[in-house]
Amino acid sequence: MTDSNIHYPDLLRLDGKGFVVLGAGAGIGREVSRALTQNGAQVLCVDLKGEVAAETASLVGGLSMAADITQRAQLEQVFAKAKDSFGTRFSGVVDVVGITLPNFLPDYSDDDIDRQFDLVLKHAIMTIQIAGPMLAANGGGSITLIGSLAGFVSTRKALLYGLAKGAVHQLAAFAGHEFGPHGVRVNAVAPGRIQNSGTIFPDPDRWKAIEAAIPLGRVGTPADIAGPVLFLASDLARYVTGNTIAADGGISKVTALPSSLV
Ligand SMILES: NC(=O)c1ccc[n+]([C@@H]2O[C@H](COP(=O)([O-])OP(=O)(O)OC[C@H]3O[C@@H](n4cnc5c(N)ncnc54)[C@H](O)[C@@H]3O)[C@@H](O)[C@H]2O)c1
């Protein structure tokens, strides 16, 4: 196809393709599952909690599976199921799982340090180790990771989480490089402040101050992340790899330094 023959809406379509969404039972993962299936994909919805994975699967007409993806053996079972279910149509993964263990640095135990890196980084590494070669064998595909604003800039009581998320962004760059020749694109989307079922709402004045600090004037929703994920999973992004797209209303581009100009 020459560029002049391209019909761009077709590049967004995922018809006939199978995707695995890790952490599909809530928030961003559920919305990503909706975005992928609305564009024709079939989705295997995976979550630690089988019942919420099944809820998302029923919402999007997909398959579901309970798994703790921080455990390699369970992650291998997830991708064995993807192979059984989709065969060579297995085309992509979105790894949404990530949890903050908030604390100040001196207060983390050795176990906390390991756990924080397990919950954010290690499963993303293992996902690429297992799914990357499978996608390559199928002729290519996409892996999309979820990073964070805290992977770019320091946020309160999130040092280890931010360190691990920064490493997720670098993981996309390195794995994009390594798997590029095999047709597998690896990217990340870095959310800013996203409102989900677990959002703690501070008093209205503080909430207003949070929204006022964000250039686009509001906290994000899961759909604000699912959109860029859909783009990266699709052939619209066929020449995009190794990148992290910030989806944060612009806040990562604003300095906290007060201006000296009036
Ligand atoms: N919400 C925000 O403000 C925000 C900001 C920046 C980055 N993020 C990142 O976005 C991603 C999703 O955030 P969210 O707010 O939608 O989270 P969420 O807590 O609403 O959903 C995460 C899902 O992952 C599942 N999960 C947790 N541990 C798992 C495991 N070991 N194995 C399988 N499934 C597991 C949970 O059961 C849950 O259904 C995370 O990576 C998070 O770090 C969120």
52-64 confidence digits (pLDDT tens): 999 999 999 999 9
Distance from CA of residue 85 to its chain's centroid?
22
Handedness of CA 195, 199, 202, 203 (dihedral sign): positive
Q: In CATH, what class is 7-249?
A: alpha beta
Query: pLDDT-derived band of residue 225, with 50, 70 and 90 as boundaries?
Result: very high
Distance from CA of residue 208 to its chain's centroid?
27
* Domain ranges across the chain: 7-249
113-154 confidence digits (pLDDT tens): 999 999 999 999 999 999 999 999 999 999 999 999 999 999
Q: Which pLDDT does position 98 carry in this prediction?
A: 98
- Provide the residue count of the chain: 262
Provide the mean pLDDT of the chain: 96
pTM of model > 0.85: yes
Q: How many A from CA of 119 to the centre of ligand 1?
A: 9
Q: How many A from CA of 234 to the centre of ligand 1?
A: 22
Closest ligand 1 atom to Cα of 29: 16
232-257 confidence digits (pLDDT tens): 999 999 999 999 999 999 999 999 89
Q: How far is CA 112 from CA 108, 166, 236, in A?
A: 6, 18, 40
Q: How many A from CA of 118 to the centre of ligand 1?
A: 13
| 161 noted as active-site residue | yes
In DSSP terms, 67 is beta-bridged to none
* Of 194, 201, 214, 219, best ligand 1 pocket probe by most atoms within 8 Å of the beta carbon: 194
Handedness of CA 166, 99, 28, 224 (dihedral sign): negative
Q: Which pLDDT does position 2 carry in this prediction?
A: 82
Q: How many A from CA of 10 to the centre of ligand 1?
A: 30
State the CB neighbour count (10 A cutoff) for residue 40. Answer: 13
In DSSP terms, 189 is beta-bridged to 146, 245
**Distance from C-alpha of 183 to C-alpha of 139, rounded to nearest angstrom:** 7
Query: pLDDT-derived band of residue 1, with 50, 70 and 90 as boundaries?
Result: low
Q: Which pLDDT does position 199 carry in this prediction?
A: 80
Q: 137: which 2 tokens?
A: 């064998």
3-class secondary structure, 204: helix
**Distance from C-alpha of 98 to C-alpha of 40, rounded to nearest angstrom:** 27
Q: Which pLDDT does position 262 carry in this prediction?
A: 79
* Of 48, 78, 122, 201, best ligand 1 pocket probe by most atoms within 8 Å of the beta carbon: 48
